[in-house]
Each structure stands twice: as C-alpha cells, then as structure tokens.
C-alpha cells in the first residue's frame, strides 16, 4: 500500500529525513514512534502529499509521487492534531464541503451516517466554534473517513481528544483497518503496542527499529525509546 524508498528531506538546510525506507502492506496498522525531531511528522506529511520529498520516492497504492499525487490524495484520509474543519461552518456544511471535494456519492445519507457514528447528529447545524475540542476532533474523524479512504494517516490524533473521543478513534482504527491501512504517528507507546500490528521507531531520519507489535512488551519498547532519546 505504502512504499517509501530512500526518503530524504531537509528544512532550511537542516536534515530531517536521511534515506528512510518503509513498506506498509495493505491492511496493516503501523505505529510510528520516536523522539521529537526524529522525522515522524515529516514522513507523514510527505506521504499525505503535504510536502514534496527532496530525495527518494513515495508510492501509495501504485500511485507514485509527484505524478500520481492526485490519485493518492483521493485514497488518503488524513487527521492531524487539529480537526481540520472550518470553525465558522456547521458539521453538516463542513462534511458537505469535503464530500464534494472528494466526489463522495450519495453524500446526504453519508453525512447523516458519519455524524451519527461520531455522536454529533444533534449538533449538526451548530457552528463548530461552539464545540469543545473533543467534539471538534470527533468531527475531524468523521471528515477523515467520509470518502472511505484506503489509507489512514494519523499524526498524533489523540492530542486534545477526551476519553470518549479516544475510545471512538480506537474503534475507528480497529474497525476500518480490516480493509484499510493505517499509519499512525504517536507518542503513546501503550496504544501503539495494543492498537497496531507493527511498531516502527524512527531516529535521526531513519528507521531504527521495526518489530511486530506482538513481539514487544512495553518495558522493552520504553527502554528502546529512552535509549534513542538520550
């Protein structure tokens, strides 16, 4: 599903990714962990088509960047720290906008279902500005999944989620991943281990450690993490 080869990137001359390779087969859930500044978010931004890689290649579902960026975009569902919805629009208006941008068919019914799934149906016509952070992020989850993406890219999505929202997102990740691929950047080692199939640690712009989630116990992972941060 995702194929990353020799990925290199630098911000204003400072190297963030240095020849990173990563393969994610379809249907796999991968947690990307690592210390701050390791290049996790940059990797995710590049796969999400927000950044153009300076070196190396990225392929999503056979669509190679930069030529295949538009095809890839249609298959990706992206969720970052922020819900990525307009605060001055209502949930219904937001989902209508993104549904139109992604060319979702039967949109009205889908919006209804999506809002019901994240428990926002009663507030469908209130401006998002009046929502709590957790509610807005739940709308972000609905936005991310509206077009049935085959690849979910989550950049520390639990930031700002309340306990209910976190459980909801856990459910979304667990449920969609039967047929969808998930790449999730997180600091939450426990969640990485329990929710995902595989844990990839990035350090200094490269994959430093790559193991099936079943093979790691939390103390070992934490120890590895500590070691890398030092």
Partner 1 sequence: MSASRGRQLRALVRKDLQLEARTRETVTAMALFALVAMVVFQFAVGQRSDDATGVAGGIIWATIALAAVLGVGRTWVPEREQRVLHGVLVAPVPRLVMLIARVIVLWLFLLAIEVLIVPLGVVFFVHDASPEGLALVAGLCAVANLAIAVPGALLASMSVFSRARELVIPVLLLPALVPVVIAAAGGTHAVLGPEVQMAEFLGYCRFLAVCAAVFCLVAYATFDHVLDD
Partner 2 sequence: MSLTTDTTRPAAPRHILALGVLSAVLMGLAVVGALGIAPEDADQGVVQRIFYFHVAVAIASMVAFGVGCVAGIVFLRRGTTLWDDIGVSSVEVGLVYSVLTIITGSIWAKGAWGVWWRWDDVRLVSFLLIILLYAAYFVLRGSAEPDRQARFGAVYAVFAFAAVPLSFYSVRIAQSFIHPVVFTSKGANMPGSMLVWFVVSLAGFLCLFATLVAVEVQQRRAQRALERLKRRFDHVH
Name the residues that contact partner 2, by CB under 8 A: 11-14
In the three-class reduction of DSSP (H, G, I as helix; E, B as strand; rest coil), residue 19 is classed as strand
CB atoms within 10 A of CB 204: 15
| Binding status of residue 50 toward partner 1 by CB under 8 A | yes
| Binding status of residue 48 toward partner 1 by CB under 8 A | yes
When CB distances are held under 5 to 8 angstroms depending on the partner's kind, the choice from partner 1, partner 2, none that residue 78 binds is partner 1
When CB distances are held under 5 to 8 angstroms depending on the partner's kind, the choice from partner 1, partner 2, none that residue 49 binds is partner 1
In this chain, which of 101, 108, 218, 220 binds partner 1, going by CB under 8 A? 101
In the complex with partner 2, the residue whose CB is nearer, 11 or 23, is 11
| Binding status of residue 18 toward partner 1 by CB under 8 A | no
- Specify whether the CB–CB gap between 160 and 131 falls below 8 A: no
> Residue with structure tokens 């190396």?
56
> Residue with structure tokens 């979702």?
104
In the complex with partner 2, the residue whose CB is nearer, 104 or 208, is 208
77: phi then psi, degrees, rounded to nearest 5: -110, 125
In this chain, which of 14, 88, 109, 122 binds partner 1, going by CB under 8 A? 88
Size of the site for partner 1 (CB under 8 A): 34
Q: Where are the alpha helices (DSSP H) in the chain?
A: 40-47, 69-75, 91-102, 107-117, 133-145, 163-176, 189-195, 218-229
> Residue with structure tokens 């890398």?
228
When CB distances are held under 5 to 8 angstroms depending on the partner's kind, the choice from partner 1, partner 2, none that residue 222 binds is none
Q: Which stretch binds partner 1 (CB under 8 A): 82-90, 110-118, 184-192, 204-212?
A: 82-90
Residues 118, 85: Cα–Cα separation, whole Å: 15
The two three-digit tokens of residue 57, written as one number: 């290649």
Q: For partner 1, what does the binding mask look like between residues 159 and 198, x meaning CB under 8 A?
A: ----------------------------------------
| Binding status of residue 28 toward partner 1 by CB under 8 A | no
Residues 167, 165: Cα–Cα separation, whole Å: 5
Peptide bond into 45 cis (omega under 30): no
Kindly state the DSSP code that residue 213 receives in the 8-state scheme.
G
11: phi then psi, degrees, rounded to nearest 5: -105, 120
In the complex with partner 1, the residue whose CB is nearer, 87 or 174, is 87
The two three-digit tokens of residue 39, written as one number: 């290049």
> Which residues here bind partner 1, judged by CB under 8 A?
48-52, 69-71, 73-74, 76, 78, 80, 82, 84-89, 93, 96-98, 100-105, 127, 143, 147-148
């Amino acid at each position: 599903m995702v194929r990353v080869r020799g990925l290199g990137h630098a911000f204003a001359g400072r190297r963030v990714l240095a020849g990173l390779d990563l393969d994610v087969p379809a249907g796999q859930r991968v947690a990307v962990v690592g210390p701050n500044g390791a290049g996790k978010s940059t990797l995710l931004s590049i796969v999400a088509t927000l950044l153009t890689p300076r070196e190396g290649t990225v392929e999503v579902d056979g669509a190679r960047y930069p030529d295949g960026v538009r095809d890839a975009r249609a298959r990706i569902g992206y969720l970052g720290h922020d819900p990525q919805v307009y605060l001055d629009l209502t949930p219904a208006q937001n989902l209508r906008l993104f549904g139109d941008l992604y060319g979702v068919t039967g949109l009205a019914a889908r919006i209804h279902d999506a809002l019901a799934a994240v428990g926002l149906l009663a507030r469908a016509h209130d401006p998002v500005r009046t929502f709590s952070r957790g509610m807005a992020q739940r709308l972000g989850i609905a936005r991310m999944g509206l077009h049935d993406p085959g690849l979910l890219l989550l950049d520390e999505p639990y930031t700002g989620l309340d306990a209910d929202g976190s459980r909801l997102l856990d459910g979304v990740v667990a449920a969609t991943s039967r047929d969808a691929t998930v790449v999730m950047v997180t600091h939450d080692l426990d969640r990485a281990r329990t929710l995902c199939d595989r844990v990839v640690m990035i350090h200094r712009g490269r994959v430093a450690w790559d193991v099936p989630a079943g093979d790691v116990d939390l103390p070992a992972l934490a120890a590895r993490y500590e070691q890398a941060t030092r």
